[in-house]
Amino acid sequence: MADAIDGQEFWDERFATEDYVFGTQPNAFLVREAHRLEPGSRVLAVADGEGRNSVFLAKHGHKVVATDISERALEKADRLAAKSGVEIQFVQTDLASWAWPENAFDAVVAIFIQFSAPQVRERIFEDISKTLKPGGLLLLEGYRPEQLAFGTGGPPSAENMYTEAMLREAFGALEIELLEGYDAEISEGKGHPGMSALIDLIARRPS
């Protein structure tokens, strides 16, 4: 089941529309928490698709590297960046096999990156922890298993969802500053419409 949402073909097809599938406005959790980033931070936005979060970060003066597996998504992200008058370094890659730079970023932003089966996800989470510089910050939002009942977006299988216990263990190398599950109404294009079972993690690599 998880494989179906973890391939370039699937996502290129999903993004083959003039619409921005997840909208052009940044994720609400990111907007709420972006004040935690130091001015001019070097930020990695992982799997940022059509670029809504990367563009928001770049508009706020951060130096942004944005990755995604989908070429179509990155073309749209590039257009959004140009329209917004910001520069972003785009990298087309599969995060499961990317040569992650170590100790490289002041922050990692990971918004709805629930495409991987548990074993691959575990590796990606380790790579996220290592790509942060000492003192670097992770901002991550995803869905909890309860999202399956809401049916308002996200992967179709429970194994892709996050729980507090799972995130606490997966990011054991980081110091957790906030870990909170809650339900909220979100409006992120046609992709994420309505009441959603969310979980937010803010964690820092020890200095």
Ligand X SMILES: C[S@@+](CC[C@H](N)C(=O)[O-])C[C@H]1O[C@@H](n2cnc3c(N)ncnc32)[C@H](O)[C@@H]1O
Contacts with ligand X, residue ranges (CB under 6 A): 6, 11, 22, 27, 47-49, 52-53, 68-70, 73, 94-96, 111-113, 115
Which DSSP state fits 48? -
How far apart (Å, rounded) are the C-alpha atoms in residues 41 and 39? Answer: 6
* Alpha carbons 188 and 9: distance in angstroms, whole number: 22
DSSP codes of every residue in 68-129: ES-HHHHHHHHHHHHHHT---EEEE--TTT--PPTT-EEEEEEES---S-HHHHHHHHHHHH
Closer to ligand X by Cβ: residue 159 or 175: 159
User: Minimal distance in Å, beta carbon 187 to ligand X?
Assistant: 13
**Which of residues 56 and 171 has its CB atom nearest to ligand X in the complex?**
56
Yes or no: say if 77 and 42 are a contact pair by the CB < 8 Å rule: no
Tell me the C-alpha to C-alpha distance, in Å, between residue 142 and each of 20, 85, 101. Answer: 19, 29, 24
Please say which residue, 68 or 200, places its beta carbon nearer to ligand X. Answer: 68
CB of 164 to ligand X, least distance (A): 21
Q: CB of residue 70 vs ligand X: minimum separation in angstroms?
A: 4
Question: Of 112 and 162, which has the nearer Cβ to ligand X?
Answer: 112
The closest of 131, 203, 192 to 167, measured between CA atoms, is: 203
- Residue 207: CB minimum distance to ligand X, A: 28
Q: Which is nearer to ligand X, 44 or 134 (CB)?
A: 44
Report how far residue 69's alpha carbon sits from residue 76's, in angstroms, rounded to the nearest whole number. Answer: 13
* Least distance to ligand X, CB of residue 93, Å: 6
CB-closest chain residue to ligand X: 49
